[in-house]
């Protein structure tokens, strides 16, 4: 495993400048393997060595993958203005290059995956990868009978776009107001447009799963945690 300079590693972990890292090291704030090191040029193995700042462990991670339960009123794009999912991340997760892998509308809640791994996001979002996205949909009125077949056949939207087949299941005991929908693509406002093509309107929308990984039920709106290695493997198909 390649070794790295201590100051470079500390700067990367803390997402700060090299000068700040050097200052911390020279002041004796940084320890490696329990030993204080004051030489910024000291070589360490960032993947194996235990690094602490003022006694608290700081972890070196080349990439990060975060599950967030997105609340209402927060945007998942980083360029649309307003409060974004990046803005509400806890400080412990903040680092350069973070972005949401796939968007949810401002009025849509649920599972948003935030990462700084562009290759992973590309694989996850590509229709060729067939990564399922599962949603709970609450409709303004009961859905017409037979609409499920339209979804499974592949709906044609109002602008002529031909959707890939999608799974749809009524989950409210036959009232036909609440549905589970599984997509393998993610066009702009797709679920809303699909139900509009059936003469209905989406009143509320909540993403419950990505790639078979379900949103952690312990996460309240706005809360997040890192994905486990097992969850990440399920989303990427073991790549």
Annotated active-site residue 105? The verdict is yes
Strands 108-115 and 65-70 come out as antiparallel
Residues in the chain: 239
Long-range pairs for 54-63: beta carbons < 8 A, 24 or more residues apart: 54/29, 55/31, 58/10, 58/13, 58/14, 59/13, 60/9, 60/12, 60/13, 63/115, 63/116, 63/117, 63/120
CB neighbourhood size of 216 (10 A): 15
**117, 65 contact by CB (below 8 A):** yes
**67, 219 contact by CB (below 8 A):** yes
CA–CA separation, 154 vs 162, rounded Å? 7
Among residues 7, 39, 79, 105, which one is catalytic? 105
**Residues near 132 by beta carbon (within 8 Å), at least 6 away in sequence:** 182, 183, 184, 209, 210, 211, 212
Task: Report the catalytic residues.
Answer: 105
């Amino acid at each position: 495993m390649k070794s790295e300079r201590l100051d470079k590693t500390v700067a990367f972990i803390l997402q700060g400048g090299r000068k700040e890292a050097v200052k911390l090291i020279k002041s004796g704030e940084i320890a490696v393997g329990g030993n204080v090191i004051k030489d910024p040029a000291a070589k360490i193995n960032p993947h194996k060595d235990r690094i602490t700042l003022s006694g608290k462990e700081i972890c070196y991670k080349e990439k990060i993958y975060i599950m967030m339960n997105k609340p209402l009123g927060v945007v998942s794009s980083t360029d649309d203005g307003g409060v974004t999912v990046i803005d509400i991340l806890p400080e412990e997760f903040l680092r350069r290059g973070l972005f949401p892998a796939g968007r949810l509308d401002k009025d849509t809640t649920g599972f948003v995956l935030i990462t700084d791994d562009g290759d992973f996001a590309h694989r996850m979002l590509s229709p060729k990868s067939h990564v399922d996205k599962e949603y709970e949909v609450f409709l303004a009125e009961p859905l017409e009978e037979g609409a499920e077949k339209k979804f499974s056949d592949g709906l044609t939207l109002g602008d002529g776009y031909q959707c890939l087949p999608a799974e749809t299941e009524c989950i409210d005991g036959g009232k036909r107001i609440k549905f589970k929908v599984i997509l393998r693509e993610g066009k702009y406002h797709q679920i809303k447009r699909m139900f509009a093509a059936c003469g209905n309107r989406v009143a509320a929308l909540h993403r419950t799963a990505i790639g078979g990984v379900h949103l952690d039920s312990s996460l309240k709106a706005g809360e997040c945690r890192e994905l486990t290695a097992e969850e990440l493997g399920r989303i990427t198909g073991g790549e």
